[in-house]
Amino acid sequence: MRKSSIKWLACLLAGITGNANAELSANLGWASDYYFRGILQKTSSASGGIDFERNGFYVGTWAADVGDGLEVDGYFGYGAEVGEFDLSAGYTGYFYTGDFDDTYQEINLGGGYGFMTLDVALGRYDNFAGPTLDYSYYAFTVSHEGLFARYGTFGRDFEGSYIEAGYATTVAEFDIGITALFSDEDLVGESSEALIFTIGKSFDIN
């Protein structure tokens, strides 16, 4: 794990909490199965994070239980509305406290128009003692009033695709979601299906 990358992010978040106009929020969550981009990370996983956003700029950190230690993510970027389009660009690093996986670092690009969103990631995987791998990821999402469907696929040194669809809503200030997911054999070795339940809560920090 590259502790220095997480340390500077923690220091930045600590520094901006003193700004009375800062928009800070925190979140806690649980998933019956933690899937990321169609790949199972852990059955029954708790998570939590903290985010800062102001004038389109954002920075945050998020961690999840992956069994052998934690996945700890750090990210920052900028998003803006340009006419009827929502555009964003940023960086995400995925780090691990144990031997569950090795470091991923990527540039994230996003665009949205109406109920449609396209997300692109261009990244590099440290791959333990093996050769460093480059990858690309593309996801197209449509959503309307809590319903959503997504197609995601990998390229370059990674391969495989998945489809997911679900519904998310808020009940008594808790975010509840249910998702059906199908991953192809190129992504996970053999095709697989899952039904995922999630619950979470966000908190404003003043």
pLDDT at 4 over 50: no
Per-residue pLDDT, 8: 46
Q: What is the mean pLDDT of residues 81-92?
A: 97
Q: Which residues contact 82 (CB under 8 A, 6 or more apart)?
A: none
pLDDT in tens, 90-115: 999 999 999 999 999 999 999 999 99
Tell the residue number behind the tokens 């555009």, with chain if given: 87
Query: What's the mean per-residue pLDDT of the chain?
Result: 92
Q: Which domains are seen in the chain, by residue range?
A: 3-205 (2.40.160.40)
Q: What is the mean pLDDT of residues 28-53?
A: 98
CA distance 80 to 84: 10
Q: What is the mean pLDDT of residues 60-69?
A: 98
Q: What is the mean pLDDT of residues 9-31?
A: 69
Per-residue pLDDT, 17: 46
In the chain, the percentage of residues whose pLDDT exceeds 90 is 88
CA distance 60 to 73: 8
Which band of pLDDT confidence, cut at 50, 70 and 90, is reported for residue 21? low
CA distance 141 to 117: 5
